[in-house]
Chain A
Amino acid sequence: EPEVTQTPSHQVTQMGQEVILRCVPISNHLYFYWYRQILGQKVEFLVSFYNNEISEKSEIFDDQFSVERPDGSNFTLKIRSTKLEDSAMYFCASSEVAVATEQYFGPGTRLTVT
């Protein structure tokens, strides 16, 4: 069964460094998402992406964040200058347009900012 994959599974970085989290959505999906889950808290929407541009973004998704689909398969989330409070689990998700009823989640990347 097709699935969303994410790399790395765990990323440790120092405050102020740039990180790139990578996702490979399901191949025939056209909508892509990033969500964040700070430890012990609920999952929060960051951004959605369609047709090579951002469709929607939350208040969390400030100028330190950017997303990109550099090729036909990868979908990346970049944090330019990480802060301690960026430590969280980051989930990528994707969905089909035609069957707009389910978003499929990847396993997540645990980001630890020290």
Chain B
Amino acid sequence: AQTVTQSQPEMSVQEAETVTLSCTYDTSENNYYLFWYKQPPSRQMILVIRQEAYKQQNATENRFSVNFQKAAKSFSLKISDSQLGDTAMYFCASYLSGNTPLVFGKGTRLSVIA
């Protein structure tokens, strides 16, 4: 069974600074996908970034990047140049393929402070 763990319930960062959100996971599979979802106060979940486990290169998406350490089963999210609009709940998630259930972590509440 897959599990996803986010050990930081809450974090805060100053506007324009960089913050890293941690995520670890456990799976016995070799092929899987990892995601970071953002859930702003409006509550719709938005995909921020995804990583295919078979790719060694870390995914990047504008100000968002990941540090994927497959051997350590770690998948952290780095947000550079934090903006007030980044304030949200961030969920780390994984699945084996697009037609299997997503398994979510408990989330990290990020507050960006002006």
What mask results when residues 82 to 114 of chain A are scored 1 for a CB within 8 Å of chain B, else 0? 000000010101011101111111111010000
Please tell me if the beta carbons of B98 and A96 are within 8 angstroms of each other in the complex: yes
CA distance A55 to B97 in the complex (A): 13
Please tell me if the beta carbons of A99 and B105 are within 8 angstroms of each other in the complex: no
Judged by a CB distance under 8 angstroms, whether B104 is at the interface is yes
Residues of B in contact (CB 8 Å), total 25
Judged by a CB distance under 8 angstroms, whether B78 is at the interface is no
Judged by a CB distance under 8 angstroms, whether A45 is at the interface is yes
Q: Which of B52, B91, B99 has the most CB of A within 10 A?
A: B99
Chain A residue with minimal CB distance to B6?
Answer: A42
Query: Distance (Å) between the CB of A52 and the closest chain B CB?
Result: 15
Partner of A56, one of B46, B101, B106: B101
Please tell me if the beta carbons of B43 and A41 are within 8 angstroms of each other in the complex: no
Q: Which of B26-77 contact A (CB under 8 A)?
A: 33, 35, 37, 42-47, 50, 52
